[in-house]
Structure 1
Amino acid sequence: MLRIVLALCLSIITTTARAEIDIIEVTSPGGINAWVVEEPSIPFVALEIRFIGGASLDRPGKRGAVNLMTGLIEEGSGDMAAQEFQTAREALAANFGFRASDDTLSISASFLTENQDQALALLRQALNAPTFDQDALDRVRAQVLSGIASDAKDPDSIASAAFNAAAFGDHPYGSPIDGTIESVTALTRDDMFQAYRDTITRDQLYVAVVGDITADTVGPMLDDLLGDLPATGASQPADVAFGLEGGITVIDYDTPQSVALFGHAGMKRDDPDFFAAYIMNQVLGAGGFESRLMTEVREKRGLTYGISTFLVPKFHAEMMLGSVASSNATIAEAIAVTQAEWARMANEGVTPEELASAKTYLTGEYPLRFDGNSAIANIMVGMQTIGLPPEYVVNRNDYIAAVTLDDVNRVAAELLQPDALHFVVVGKPEGLESTQ
């Protein structure tokens, strides 16, 4: 067992509070690794389990299988039907959450210490013995199909689907994790069991536990909960290059306001320059009303209610994205201003004042994320999945502070590619036509 005490300094107005997170690295007798934080002050435990792969492990022709399977995990297991399972969970005042994303399948659980054994037994049953009963499959499938139909009428979802399809083609990133009407309609119980065997396996497993529990008891607990899962699952998908060139794609849709999703290739999370890019993005578009794009597009010109940008380092591809919505009559101007600000940042970089402001915000808000057992467990398991060590928690703000003005401006010139920006616009934009 490795214990690392990590202290976070949190400044609130003129008062400085010091919070310590004591991360204990545990390996169970059966070989399951976990990060544990003992917090006995409240009789409550948060457990976060994450399996690498997620919806990217959908088999060919089975798009949406992992997402649908994830929605079925607590809809019947062992000898319990869905309603029996939910009744048992509610009687224990336990919360379970199951969700799939592009790169992970996540399971969250929280329960009172006094109900820990019963809650974990119920979760173990769900994870180890799902039944995927046909009636539950049909019911949850109908919910998924309703969501797919709704997304087909939502401009933001339309833009996202078109952007990703053009950027990633046949790679799993190129299609929504929900699947299509056709693919989801065709999924069977056998497909659910296959998706389960592909994704919920020990070789893809990361765990964090926070709360009224001791590190000594976590190992046996995890062996009992997760030790009977399959040892190995499906192979991870290959990396994929961002394949969308600069330009504009207009998707005609009858709405008074056009929405635009835009971006180009990004940066890996483990790139040595990631923190410089992170600060640069804060100044450009992630900083809310303090960002350049919000100032230029909204405050000075009144072209939108909001515009923002994001660094998106997925496990197998990297993007830098942004989004904006504006009236059909003004979306062309909003795009032109965005392109100009993208170029200005690439050419001129940030100012010393912008750098200082961004650092102050980013270092000040970080400790606020650790605001409860569930939040801490989620942060810790996320760190594990991207290869960050426990020391990152205390060192992260030092990494931000160490970034220089030259670092940020060099990275801005290298990362930002105004001519490579591609805008997918959904609506009836005036003065805009597809360039490809």
Structure 2
Amino acid sequence: MYRYSFYILKKEQLKWKQKTIISPLTILSKFSTWTDIQLTPNQQTSLMELANKTPKEKCDNNKIALKITKIQNMSKQLKTAWEELDIYEQLLTENMELTLKKNEESKQINTINFNEYSEVKEINYNLENISDSIVKEMLDIYTNFVNLDHHLDSNEIRLEIVPGVGGQEAKMFSNELFSMYENFCKLKNYDCVIKNSKLNEEGKGISKNIIAHIKGEGVYVDFAQEIGIHRVQRIPINSKKMQTSTSVVLLFDEKQTKEKLEKKMKIPKNDFIIETKRSGGAGGQSVNKNETCVKITHKPTNIFVEVQKTSSQIQNKSIAMEMIKNKLYNFYYEQEKMNFLKDKKNQKQSGDRSEKIRTYNFSHNTVIDHVANVQYTGIDQFFKGTQLINLINKRKQLFYQNIIDDTLEYLFSYVC
């Protein structure tokens, strides 16, 4: 008899409407050091639909129109490649049936591996390249048109762990979470510096939120998968009942904050009004005769300084300019701080136990991620960081697939 079940499996995988691309796409882009992105069946179907659409007449954005045309052309190439695979599938199926009939009496056992054929290898290679290009183009559209405030290329973050429901147990759990993230950072070669964490008098748990600054390529996308409520279930040492506690993980783009401040501090000269007048009060022989007092006003904010420290107008002007820049920096910093607190409130939500992304059950020794829908056994091992890397990689696949979905929705709004 013939062993052809392997071929039948491959045959089912080749239907582009039913299965994702055969080989996973490893995209090394400017957004992350690792990204395993596969186009889902629905995304492939949407790309085929997009290929047959025409740009709307009101699409006056030439750059978007060019991007749509580029995606459409690549989608047509992808469809052609799948059709070529269908042709080879039919030919090889017919050949297999003839061979089976011809050698039926010999009881010979053969294994037919569809992907070993050179023509098929070439088509698969072409499929990977086309899909690679589509994903890269989608990411480019997302970061330049769909979401300009994307953070995907950020390599510096502020991580905050806030004890939630559960009192002292929640504080202890926050400390454990941070230890897990420290291990994760060591494995990923991220620089992690804790900014504030204080133990209580018994040395148990923490009395304040844990705040850390972390640097490294792709760090924002990694820790974006950790945003939300983490729930722990265990029996405390001095209790016989199971207790449920929570901690909230928050994330902020430290690099973007610095860039915003630097951008705001690039102040045009015509934004300043420089006035001079005679200095008031006691002075030397010439301090009240010349206009040595300098007042500088920043027109957009109406912030001003006035300096009459020396008898030199030039020196006073230099001092005044330095002072007003410091004032403006503090002003803009407070603005960013208010935005930070607003984002923090949005991320924290209610802190309710029901709004959880992950559960750590010490009684069952399991970690369940409710987003990726996966379960790990061995909490102590999970806290060492290796399994967290695997989980975050799974979450990143979903993360980028959501980005592609958002980008497709955006592109469809420009076609009819």
Q: TM-score, normalised by structure 1?
A: 0.22
Greater radius of gyration (CA): 2
Say which structure is richer in strand.
1
Specify which structure has the bigger relative contact order, considering alpha-carbon pairs within 8 angstroms and separated by 6 or more residues.
Answer: 1
Normalised TM-score (structure 2): 0.23
